[in-house]
Amino acid sequence: MAKILLIEDDNLLQALYKGKLTDEGFEVTAASDGKTGLNLIKSQRFDLILLDIILPGGLNGFDILEYLKKDQNLSQIPVIVMTNLESEDKVARDIGAADYFIKANVSLKEIVDRIKNVLKGK
């Protein structure tokens, strides 16, 4: 099954997402800050990145998304952006996010469905 990088600083949400995705058969690697997430992106191959916007560690989700889209080898990895701020939707899509959701508005099942849909269209 697909290999997913989950970059989420909220430990509870990270555990929930990782548990559900693992149960669905995905291989999930998690990072709790932007710097660690970017280092994982540079050192491993992922089929999809699930990316929070507000992150500690000096790099936010927009920084990571911009880095990915500028790198020829990484720009084809689909990124699903997740946040709690509605105002970031347009910015995320303009930078190249494949999908976007507000964490409080979606169920774990919806997240899995969105991931599967993005991977089908890859």
Interval 86-119: pLDDT, tens: 665 556 666 778 888 889 899 999 999 999 999 9
Q: Which helix (H) or strand (E) holds 82?
A: strand 79-83
- The pLDDT of residue 88 is 59
* Contacts by residues 57-60 (CB-CB < 8 Å, ≥ 24 positions apart): 57/33, 58/34, 59/33, 59/34, 59/35, 60/34
Q: Is the pLDDT of residue 9 over 90?
A: yes
Q: What is the mean pLDDT of residues 50-61?
A: 93
Cα Rg of the chain, angstroms: 13
Query: Are the CB atoms for 10 and 61 separated by under 8 Å?
Result: no
Q: Which amino acid is at 11?
A: N
Tell me the β-bridge partners of 52: 82
Domain boundaries of the chain, sorted by first residue? 3-120
**What's the chain's average pLDDT?**
91
- CATH 3.40.50.2300 is right for the domain spanning 3-120: yes
- The pLDDT of residue 121 is 86
Give this prediction's pTM. Answer: 0.92
- The pLDDT of residue 118 is 96
Using 50, 70 and 90 to split pLDDT, how confident is the model at 84? confident
- The pLDDT of residue 95 is 73
- The pLDDT of residue 49 is 98
- What is the spatial distance between Cα 110 and Cα 105, in angstroms, rounded to a whole number? 10
